Amino acid sequence: MGRLAQTEGLTDIQREIVSTVRGFVDKEIIPVATELEHRDEYPTEIVEGLKELGVFGLMIPEEYGGLGESLLTYALCVEEIARGWMSVSGIINTHFIVAYMLKQHGTQEQKDHFLPRMAAGEVRGAFSMSEPGLGSDVSAITSKGVRDGDDFLLTGQKMWLTNGGTSTLVAVLCRTDEGHPEGTAPHKSMTTFLVEKEPGFGEVRPGLTIPGKIDKMGYKGVDTTELIMDGLRIPGDRVLGGTTGRGFYQMMDGVEVGRVNVAARGCGVAQRAFELGVDYAQQRHTFGKPIAHHQAIQFKLAEMATKVEAAHAMMVRAARKKDTGERNDLEAGMAKYLASEYCKEVVEDAFRIHGGYGFSKEYEIERLYREAPMLLIGEGTAEIQKMIIGRRLLEEYRSQG
């Protein structure tokens, strides 16, 4: 482990967990990641290994069979996993968000029913807000849940579900207008439904279809899908928290921890890009010396390392803030914004250091180059992060004049 991206003040247990995950990444993920990615193949063996390590239950409380660890421990593990292969961190991310939402907002029965099996990785989570016509503007959601006796009937089309095919539990955000007079703010009439389903594609439950995988430029291996609901019957006790109208806030809470997670992924990918760049720069000779000895390349390495360090520090700060129980929307927004932008820049610099070989699929940097852009979009684009940051700053620094 190099000097960069160290985290001060960790407990012995945190250090042990992170170092175990790092060992797993070096041994089981990095050697096979690029090959699996090129084949767009789901990393079944890696997922089984992570299940055994308890990664799927890292933040689930011990009383439900998880490890009861903090967001910081979780984020540091995600950073390590993304360093190996970003797609694998995506497999864990939506699972973690759904488990977090259940822990924070679920009824006792929902926690008892789902969390122990989620901790074991038997039930795997996906979450679904986006639709074909919207992503950033969640308040414009059109999918509907209409009460029918004790049940709800769900209708609508969802888009971009990470783990849409492999998951067995999807937290789906729909509009439910009941009890809310016309003109109620849209975010007060949304509900999160806990939708259980079979894994796979096609009609996975009456009224619920998962068409095939979306073909993506990167972030391969992990499945990303649409989800179509046509009169999907969901019992009333599968409304998250038992009460309608709270879905928007529950999802935003989930996305807040998700943003720390995406920041951690950006940190991990940037670290790997730096490792590849600094190594290649010492191997490749031009004009009679290793390119690392040309000052222009040294400057690149210096900039890359500084970005790796800064992004890591902000990500750790955002995680620690949430762990104290405080809102971290400002810190998570900043960390996500900075880490994803820096990740893209560090990857691009490592790509340039590789010269023409960076363009060859034989070199790992080619994969990273296609993976980094996803982090600019997922869990809210840069513009959305800046909107959140700006809004919070104006609240904090209210003009006295």
Catalytic residue set: 379
Q: For residue 338, give the 3-state DSSP assignment.
A: helix
State both tokens at 288: 């009679």
- Least distance (Å) between residue 138 CB and ligand FAD: 8
286 sits near ligand FAD (criterion: CB under 6 A): no
Nearer to ligand FAD, 150 or 383 (CB): 383
- Least distance (Å) between residue 263 CB and ligand FAD: 15
* Residue among 182, 362, 383, 396 that touches ligand FAD (CB under 6 A): 383
290 sits near ligand FAD (criterion: CB under 6 A): no
54 sits near ligand FAD (criterion: CB under 6 A): no
What residues contact 244, with CB distance under 8 A and at least 6 apart?
145, 176, 178, 179, 191
* Residue among 128, 250, 271, 328 that touches ligand FAD (CB under 6 A): 128
269 sits near ligand FAD (criterion: CB under 6 A): no
Contact 5, 267 (CB under 8 A): yes
Q: How many residues bind ligand FAD (CB under 6 A)?
A: 22
385 sits near ligand FAD (criterion: CB under 6 A): no
Site for ligand FAD in 147-176 (CB under 6 A): 160-162
* Residue among 6, 19, 44, 136 that touches ligand FAD (CB under 6 A): 136
Contact 261, 316 (CB under 8 A): no
Q: Can you say how many angstroms the Cα of residue 98 is from the centroid of all Cα atoms in its chain?
A: 11
Contact 208, 229 (CB under 8 A): yes
- Least distance (Å) between residue 205 CB and ligand FAD: 19
* Residue among 94, 168, 250, 271 that touches ligand FAD (CB under 6 A): 94
Stretch touching ligand FAD by CB under 6 A, among 48-56, 135-143, 231-239, 283-291: 135-143
Which segments within 129-187 are labelled E, that is strand? 144-148, 151-162, 169-175
- Least distance (Å) between residue 166 CB and ligand FAD: 12
Q: For residue 102, give the 3-state DSSP assignment.
A: helix
Nearer to ligand FAD, 68 or 186 (CB): 186
Alpha carbon of 119 to those of 13, 145, 237, 260, 282: distances in Å?
Answer: 18, 29, 21, 20, 43
- Least distance (Å) between residue 344 CB and ligand FAD: 14
380 sits near ligand FAD (criterion: CB under 6 A): yes
User: How far is it, in rounded angstroms, from Cα 95 to Cα 219?
Assistant: 17
306 sits near ligand FAD (criterion: CB under 6 A): no
What residues contact 366, with CB distance under 8 A and at least 6 apart?
351, 358, 359, 360
* Residue among 73, 110, 130, 340 that touches ligand FAD (CB under 6 A): 130
* Residue among 14, 153, 381, 392 that touches ligand FAD (CB under 6 A): 381
Stretch touching ligand FAD by CB under 6 A, among 77-85, 308-316, 319-327, 376-384: 376-384
Number of helices followed by number of strands (H, E) in the chain = 11, 10
- Least distance (Å) between residue 284 CB and ligand FAD: 33
Using CB atoms, what's the residue nearest to ligand FAD? 135
Binding-residue pattern over the window 193 to 232 for ligand FAD, x denoting contact by CB under 6 A: -----------------------x--x----x--------
State which H helix or E strand residue 192 sits in. Answer: strand 190-196
User: How far is it, in rounded angstroms, from Cα 316 to Cα 8?
Assistant: 10
* Residue among 96, 127, 193, 369 that touches ligand FAD (CB under 6 A): 127
Burial level of 171, CB count in 10 A (0-12/13-18/19+)?
buried
129 sits near ligand FAD (criterion: CB under 6 A): yes
250 sits near ligand FAD (criterion: CB under 6 A): no
Beta-strand relationship, 125-128 and 169-175: parallel
User: How far is it, in rounded angstroms, from Cα 220 to Cα 39?
Assistant: 8
* Residue among 146, 228, 310, 377 that touches ligand FAD (CB under 6 A): 377
Closest C-alpha among 297, 264, 303, 266 to residue 279: 297
User: How far is it, in rounded angstroms, from Cα 71 to Cα 53?
Assistant: 17
The residue ranges that bind ligand FAD (CB under 6 A) are 94, 127-130, 134-137, 160-162, 216, 219, 224, 374, 377-378, 380-381, 383-384
